[in-house]
Amino acid sequence: MVFRDLLADTVRTLWAHKLRTFLTMFGIAWGIISITLMVAAGEGLRVGQERQAQNFCKDIMIVFAGRTSLQAGGQRAGRRVWWEANDAYAVQQESPDCQYVLPELGNTAAIRSLHNSANLLVTGSWPPFAELRSVRVGEGRFYSWEDDAQGRHVAFLGSDAKKQLFGTREALGATIWMKDIPYTVIGVMREKTQNSSYDGQDVQKVFIPFSVMLQEIPNVPPAAPNSIDRLLVAPKSWERHEACKLQVRRSLARLHNFDPRDKEAAGIWDTVEDAKAFRMIVDGMEYFLGAIGVTSLFLGGIGVMNVMLVAVRERTREIGVRKAVGATRRAIVGQFFVESLIVVFLSGGVGLVIAYGLCGLVNLIPMPEFFAGMLVGWQTGLLSFVLLGTVAVLSALYPARRAAAVDPIEALRYEPGS
């Protein structure tokens, strides 16, 4: 039997039971639509959250000084600990699994320009701070190692800080004053959204070299002299981040005489760990929703099997005639097997077209910042194709074997409806 005749027989069989066929094919199509939409939504949520997280920072650990909760070195628990400006150098040398260890110091200062004035948070750190904290340049440049080494009075403005001090005027190259000391504006930050923070929105800050910050706008008592607010630590890779965290704790414990197991003395906001936890949640959600779609798909496969079993019964005489004139068992199996594949892949293909179309329509709508849209890729299509193939084979095997097992003598005696 040529494929054209096979396709015609399949269409006639399906058309003879239109409602049952529609419901069966709907089950297959709905399963594919469910899988595609759920995987696409999960991927859109994951990508959107990753983008939001990267607006704040890029997989770093923020190490805060606290109070000791354990006795160590003969000193009592409850002692206040302060990080110092030179700690970053020492910790970096003793932490081979850490790519960066940066000091950070931030204080509010009265700032004025020729056009306006405001109280803004001023932050000082080393130049890699811009990379780690996703401070992207909109105009000009961020300060450099040379600026820090020479103690240059230069400033990089957050986008909102620029608007407060200059409005719509040009800020690049202009002068601002902090504590009556002039600073040259060398850059303006690109606007960004930020859904988390430990000391305020970056767009509202002014950034200056760390050496200048430490000298001109230091912490005041009761903070220790030459103290800083926190350390920013970036591991060399996700796999080495736990080792990096342990090395940082040990180094700080040695420098400040507390027990390295004392998490109260050195509190760590681990954004790497948070990112891993969120990825696990999103992956779990995708697996759960995908499992629902797979279940729907396999239920549709059972419907296809049922339709084909009915077709075998109703075409018993036809099968008997074909066997009587020499059709082999393999030919009979192939006929019903291919018919089942046609049903499954036809309904699955329709489901894929509908699912991709729905994703495209949804993506035309403005998305919230935490959601990147319905993201479908070749992986989703490949997954759907593999699942369709599996369902097609499983739903075709039993009806095809039943058809091949028909006794030709009994089949020629068979009367429809008996």
Q: Is 47 exposed, middle or buried (0-12, 13-18, 19+ CB in 10 A)?
A: middle
Rounded Cα gap, residues 63 and 354, in angstroms: 49
Task: Determine the pLDDT at residue 29.
Answer: 80
Q: Residue ranges of the domains in the chain?
A: 3-54+276-413, 98-236
Instruction: Tell me: pLDDT of 408 over 70.
Output: no
- The reported pTM is 0.65
Q: What average pLDDT does range 203-207 have in this prediction?
A: 94
Q: What average pLDDT does range 239-265 have in this prediction?
A: 91
Rounded Cα gap, residues 299 and 24, in angstroms: 9
Rounded Cα gap, residues 373 and 349, in angstroms: 23
- In single-letter form, the type of residue at position 416 comes to P
The DSSP call for residue 373 is -
Rounded Cα gap, residues 123 and 147, in angstroms: 15
Q: What average pLDDT does range 381-410 have in this prediction?
A: 68
Facing residues of 156 across strands?
Answer: 187, 207
The DSSP call for residue 371 is -
Interior angle at CA 70, CA 64 and CA 76, nearest 5:
100
Facing residues of 209 across strands?
Answer: 125
Instruction: Tell me: pLDDT of 55 over 60.
Output: no
pLDDT band at 22 (very low <50, low <70, confident <90, very high): confident
Higher per-residue confidence, 188 vs 33: 188
pLDDT band at 52 (very low <50, low <70, confident <90, very high): low
Residue 77 CA to chain centroid, in angstroms?
41
- In single-letter form, the type of residue at position 78 comes to G
Low-confidence winner among 321-330, 371-380, 404-413 (lowest mean pLDDT): 404-413
Asked if 212 contacts 199 with a C-beta cutoff of 8 angstroms, the reply is no
Rounded Cα gap, residues 90 and 92, in angstroms: 5
pLDDT band at 229 (very low <50, low <70, confident <90, very high): very high
From 289, 248, 285, 292, select the one nearest 269 (Cα to Cα). Answer: 248
Residue 206 backbone dihedrals phi, psi, to 5 degrees? -120, 130
Rounded Cα gap, residues 386 and 39, in angstroms: 15
Q: What average pLDDT does range 156-163 have in this prediction?
A: 95
Higher per-residue confidence, 97 vs 77: 97
Task: Determine the pLDDT at residue 244.
Answer: 93
Q: What average pLDDT does range 42-50 have in this prediction?
A: 74
pLDDT band at 151 (very low <50, low <70, confident <90, very high): very high
Task: Determine the pLDDT at residue 403.
Answer: 66
Rounded Cα gap, residues 173 and 186, in angstroms: 6
Q: Is 391 exposed, middle or buried (0-12, 13-18, 19+ CB in 10 A)?
A: buried
Asked if 134 contacts 55 with a C-beta cutoff of 8 angstroms, the reply is yes
Q: What average pLDDT does range 223-250 have in this prediction?
A: 90
Task: Determine the pLDDT at residue 45.
Answer: 75
Task: Determine the pLDDT at residue 195.
Answer: 63
Instruction: Tell me: pLDDT of 74 over 70.
Output: no
Rounded Cα gap, residues 116 and 42, in angstroms: 46
Instruction: Tell me: pLDDT of 135 over 70.
Output: yes
Instruction: Tell me: pLDDT of 88 over 70.
Output: yes
Interior angle at CA 280, CA 277 and CA 286, nearest 5:
145
At 367, list the tokens.
């998305």
Instruction: Tell me: pLDDT of 170 over 80.
Output: yes
pLDDT band at 172 (very low <50, low <70, confident <90, very high): very high
The DSSP call for residue 200 is S
pLDDT band at 13 (very low <50, low <70, confident <90, very high): low
Question: Is the alpha carbon torsion for 168, 172, 174, 179 positive or negative?
Answer: positive
pLDDT band at 283 (very low <50, low <70, confident <90, very high): confident
